[in-house]
Amino acid sequence: MTSFRSAISSALLAAVVLTGAAGAACAQDAAYPNKVIRVIVGFAAGGGNDLFARVVGQKLSDNIGQPVVIENKPGAGGRIASEFAANQPADGYTLLVAASGPMAIAAAIYPKLSYHPTKTFIPLSMIASFPLILVVPGDHPAKSVKELVAWAKANPDKSNYATSSPSFTIATELLKLKTGMPSQAIPYKSSNESVLAVLSGQTLLTISDGPPVMPMAQSGKVRALAVTGSERSPELPNVPSMAESGLAEVNTKLWSGFFVHANTPPAIAKKLEAELRRAISAPDVSSKLKAMAVTPSGNSGDEFRKMIDADIKSYVDVVNAAKLTFAE
């Protein structure tokens, strides 16, 4: 009887302890946030991802009544910041703003990556996305993607492309796979250098992000033949999309979004998702993002996760088909 009573007492005590712990956790979740939230950014201050984080972070701070501090940890194409965020407490007070490069693309090309974008982290919401732009020298005879492909096939010894990132390499190799166009990769240190290489005639083409391309394309120094994806860019309204050019599968886009540690309590993750979506969709935030030549998003965490997983599969397919290797 004594042992039976002892067992009952132990069970009751355990139940009380568990109930108390659950109650404390619920109270903690309900009180969230009650201190500074850090946002880790994998690129230097002044870059696109940093600006996205600051614009949305300020609105988030205004909405929740707590400071939001941006911490820049550049290096390894953004992977250092992701590794750092993966090793922080999963309490919702450390967020990560990461781009497609160190997340979906890195997951596809680096087999020893120490984190996974949708397993190590919870994708909360995409901030914005933007297409890439295919350009050739301004005086090149090709006036369309179709003409460029034909010219490259007729002049394979003069067909090369500039690239400064796996993102641009994959986009160009995808174009090659879908058209049979020959072209040899020439590495450069930045997308700005890649565009200058096209301008000077050192390379035939580059597929690059908007900021270095826009002024040169708008001035006619380089000719934009297409933007990736199915929609035209508002900044280059006369340039067709790849879909309009008959190459809908060449749809590589870059994006940036918010993430939190995968072990974050679900209630806190859901609150973060809701608040971030509210901040991103605010008219003043959307207008600031559009001014940076990107398309604001604010999609749900589930939509964001599915998109990232689909991106990874797409990139793996291209890397395998083109037999690409990348140094870590």
- Dump pLDDT digits (tens) for 111-168: 999 999 999 999 999 999 999 999 999 999 999 999 999 999 999 999 999 999 899 9
pLDDT at residue 137, as a whole number: 97
pLDDT at residue 211, as a whole number: 79
pLDDT at residue 13, as a whole number: 58
pLDDT of 28 > 80? The answer is no
pLDDT at residue 210, as a whole number: 85
List C-alpha distances in Å: 125 to 88, 139, 194, 319. Answer: 20, 42, 31, 27
> Under a CB-based contact definition with an 8 Å cutoff, are residues 128 and 256 in contact?
yes
Rounded percentage of the chain residues whose pLDDT exceeds 70 = 91
Q: pLDDT tens digit string along 190-199?
A: 888 999 999 9
pLDDT confidence bin for 328, thresholds 50/70/90: confident
CATH class assigned to 133-227:
alpha beta
Q: Which residue has the higher pLDDT, 75 or 280?
A: 280
pLDDT at residue 134, as a whole number: 97
What CATH number is given for 34-130+254-322 in this structure? 3.40.190.150
Q: Scan for tokens 């995968």, then name that residue.
A: 262
Write down the domain spans for the chain: 34-130+254-322, 133-227
> Under a CB-based contact definition with an 8 Å cutoff, are residues 129 and 104 in contact?
no
Dmax (CA) for the chain in angstroms is 97
Q: pLDDT tens digit string along 217-242?
A: 989 999 999 999 999 988 889 999 99
pLDDT at residue 293, as a whole number: 77
pLDDT at residue 62, as a whole number: 97
pLDDT confidence bin for 33, thresholds 50/70/90: very high
SS (H, E, C) the chain: CHHHHHHHHHHHHHHHHHHHHHHHHHHHHHHCCCCCEEEEECCCCCCHHHHHHHHHHHHHHHHHCCCEEEEECCCHHHHHHHHHHHCCCCCCCEEEEEECHHHHHHHHHCCCCCCCCCCCEEEEEEEEEEECEEEEECCCCCCCHHHHHHHHHHCHHHCEEEECCHHHHHHHHHHHHHHCCCCEEEECCCHHHHHHHHHCCCCCEEEECHHHHHHHHHHCCEEEEEECCCCCECCECCCCECCCCCCCCCCCEEEEEEEEECCCCHHHHHHHHHHHHHHHHCHHHHHHHHCCCCEECCCCHHHHHHHHHHHHHHHHHHHHHHCCCCCC
Q: pLDDT tens digit string along 246-303?
A: 999 999 989 999 999 999 999 999 999 999 999 999 999 999 998 887 899 999 999 9
pLDDT of 1 > 60? The answer is no
Q: Which residues contact 33 (CB under 8 A, 6 or more apart)?
A: 64, 66, 92, 93
pLDDT at residue 20, as a whole number: 58
Q: Do domains 34-130+254-322 and 133-227 have the same CATH topology?
A: yes
pLDDT at residue 190, as a whole number: 85
pLDDT confidence bin for 23, thresholds 50/70/90: low
